[in-house]
């Protein structure tokens, strides 16, 4: 009888064997391979850090074509591999092909996330955004529910800003955006709802809270979107505890938030966090980044 470790080793060897084929068959550029590696790591890290569970997703803009983005098809982020990544149109979130297997196109591509319009509409609205995360992180939900915006409480969360994160509430949408005959299940199921969510972002904050649902986070890279997601959750814990202690103006000033964001999201500091998180997912035994192994 095989031990779990032996089975896993055999599986990894088989993945390595077809991986060279996968990458050469897809004929992707170095830039796409690089963001593909980061995208798989991002999904695995978000799960390892408990920011997503079975649900939630992360995407990256196609570095070779600003009108497209890459995201896994409908699958728990922890389980994604190179053969889960799909190239989508930003225009309408329609799938084009598996990014790393160009023989799988059109209707042969497995179904995408219902809420991929969160990503497509954020990329459409903000040309400088390169990475997006959507999650249902528990710690932020009380703030969205109570109508209390998050503000930066610490230097690593400077991207939350000092004025308060916008809160998106599907119950406040008019019937042009959310008609009576459509499901009121809080999901962002089409371009119209995605557009309404994207318009909620403010210049001050890189995060929108979604009442009864979760959050949407934009980043200047997929790594940055993960970094901001992680420290948004940490910030929610700090802000709640500071309020319980009776503090009111517990957050950073506008100047502090802006300068701290610039410092902590620099390549060297963000890179230090990324290096740790990649080492953690590599040692966890659950996640497979077959692109990085090639
Ligand atoms: C690419 O997709 C084709 C069609 O489904 C499949 O036969 C092939 O094994 C896939 N290649 C890889 C590397 O998974
Ligand atoms: C692979 O991509 C390169 C550069 O875009 C192109 O010149 C070449 O024809 C492609 N090869 C195949 C087999 O598609
Ligand atoms: C870029 O993507 C758009 C949308 O998918 C597509 O219409 C266009 O042909 C692509 N451009 C190139 C150079 O591949
Ligand atoms: C989606 O958008 C692309 C780019 O504008 C377009 O070529 C394509 O026809 C659209 N697909 C659908 C199903 O609307
Ligand atoms: C519905 O809301 C949108 C966005 O706020 C607005 O542009 C539109 O005019 C509104 N429609 C009606 C019928 O109020
Ligand atoms: C932002 O950080 C960089 C170092 O990463 C520094 O060189 C630059 O002066 C900072 N800009 C501001 C406005 O603080």
Handedness of CA 264, 266, 272, 273 (dihedral sign): positive
256 assigned to active site: no
pLDDT digits (tens, 9 = 90+) for 138-190: 999 999 999 999 999 999 999 999 999 999 999 999 999 999 999 999 999 99
Angle between helices 267-282 and 222-244 (to 10 degrees): 90
The answer as to whether 74 is a domain residue is: yes
- Strands ordered across the beta sheet of 167-168: 101-105, 95-98, 85-89, 68-72, 57-61, 131-135, 214-219, 207-210, 167-168
- Say what the pLDDT of residue 27 is: 82
- Say what the pLDDT of residue 21 is: 47
Q: Which atom of ligand 4 is nearest to the CA of 67?
A: 4
Q: What is the CATH number of the domain that holds 156?
A: 3.40.225.10
pLDDT digits (tens, 9 = 90+) for 195-233: 999 999 999 999 999 999 999 999 999 999 999 999 999
CA of residue 217 to ligand 4 center, whole Å: 25
Indicate the pLDDT class of residue 249, thresholds 50, 70 and 90. Answer: confident
Q: Which of 187, 190, 147 is nearest to 166 (CA)?
A: 147
Token readout for 65 is 């074509």
- Say what the pLDDT of residue 229 is: 98
CA of residue 176 to ligand 5 center, whole Å: 6
Mean pLDDT calculated for residue range 24-40? 89
- Say what the pLDDT of residue 248 is: 80
* Least confident interval from 4-18, 72-86, 168-182, 236-250: 4-18
pLDDT digits (tens, 9 = 90+) for 109-136: 999 999 999 999 999 999 999 999 999 9
- Say if ligand 6 is within 6 A of residue 259 CB: yes
Mean pLDDT calculated for residue range 257-276? 97
Q: Which atom of ligand 1 is nearest to the CA of 108?
A: 5
Ligand 3, atom 14, residue with closest C-alpha? 65
CA of residue 78 to ligand 3 center, whole Å: 30
Burial of 220 (0-12, 13-18, 19+ CB in 10 A): middle
- Say if ligand 6 is within 6 A of residue 266 CB: yes
The answer as to whether 17 is a domain residue is: no
**Considering its fold, how many domains does the chain have in total?**
1
The answer as to whether 244 is a domain residue is: yes
- Say what the pLDDT of residue 1 is: 41
Cβ atoms within 10 Å of 243's Cβ, excluding its own: 12
The percentage of residues in the chain with a pLDDT greater than 70, rounded to a whole number, is: 91
Q: Which atom of ligand 1 is nearest to the CA of 19?
A: 13
CA of residue 101 to ligand 1 center, whole Å: 6
Q: Which of 16, 95, 104, 15 is nearest to 62 (CA)?
A: 95
- Say what the pLDDT of residue 178 is: 98
Q: Domain residues for 106? A: 30-283
The answer as to whether 46 is a domain residue is: yes
Buried b (16+ CB within 10 A) or exposed e, 12-50: eeebeeebeebbeebebeeebbebbbbbbbbbbbbbbbe
Mean pLDDT calculated for residue range 258-277? 97
The number of angstroms, rounded, from the C-alpha of 195 to the middle of its chain's C-alpha atoms is 17
Q: How far is CA 8 from CA 2, 204, 263, in A?
A: 10, 46, 40
Residue to substitute in 94, 105, 107, 190 for testing ligand 4 pocket (most ligand atoms within 8 angstroms of CB):
94
Residue 291 has pLDDT above 70, yes or no: yes
Token readout for 154 is 């610490």
**DSSP class per residue in 156-205:** GGGGG-SS---EE-GGG--TTTS-TTS--SS---SHHHHHHHHHH-BTTB
The answer as to whether 291 is a domain residue is: no
The answer as to whether 10 is a domain residue is: no
- Say what the pLDDT of residue 237 is: 98
- Say if ligand 6 is within 6 A of residue 263 CB: yes
The answer as to whether 1 is a domain residue is: no
- Say what the pLDDT of residue 2 is: 44
The answer as to whether 107 is a domain residue is: yes
- Say what the pLDDT of residue 9 is: 52
**In this structure, are residues 190 and 115 in contact, taking their beta carbons and an 8 Å threshold?**
no
Cβ atoms within 10 Å of 171's Cβ, excluding its own: 9
């Amino acid at each position: 009888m095989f031990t779990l470790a032996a089975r896993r080793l055999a599986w990894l060897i088989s993945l390595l064997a077809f991986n060279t084929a996968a990458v050469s068959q897809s004929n992707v550029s170095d830039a796409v391979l690089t963001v593909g590696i980061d995208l798989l790591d991002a999904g695995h890290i978000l799960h390892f850090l408990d920011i997503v569970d079975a649900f939630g997703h992360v995407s990256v803009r196609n570095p070779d074509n600003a009108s497209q983005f890459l995201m896994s098809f409908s699958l728990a982020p922890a389980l994604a591999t190179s053969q889960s990544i799909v190239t989508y149109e930003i225009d309408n979130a329609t799938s084009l092909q598996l990014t790393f297997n160009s023989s799988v196109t059109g209707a042969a591509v497995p179904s995408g996330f219902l809420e991929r319009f969160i990503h497509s509409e954020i990329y459409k609205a903000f040309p400088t955004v390169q990475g997006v995360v959507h999650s249902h992180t528990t710690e932020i939900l009380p703030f969205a529910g109570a109508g209390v915006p998050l503000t930066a409480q610490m230097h690593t969360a400077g991207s939350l800003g000092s004025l308060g994160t916008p809160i998106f509430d599907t119950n406040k949408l008019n019937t042009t955006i959310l008609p009576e005959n459509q499901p009121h299940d809080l999901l962002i199921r089409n371009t119209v709802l995605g557009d309404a969510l994207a318009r909620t972002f403010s210049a001050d904050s890189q995060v929108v809270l979604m009442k009864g649902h979760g959050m949407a986070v934009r980043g200047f890279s997929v790594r940055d979107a993960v970094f901001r997601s992680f420290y948004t959750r940490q910030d929610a814990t700090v802000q709640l505890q500071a309020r319980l202690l009776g503090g009111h103006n517990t957050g950073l000033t506008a100047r502090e938030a802006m300068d701290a964001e610039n410092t902590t999201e620099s390549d060297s500091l963000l890179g230090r966090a990324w290096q740790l998180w990649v080492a953690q997912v590599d040692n966890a035994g659950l996640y497979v980044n077959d692109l990085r192994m090639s």
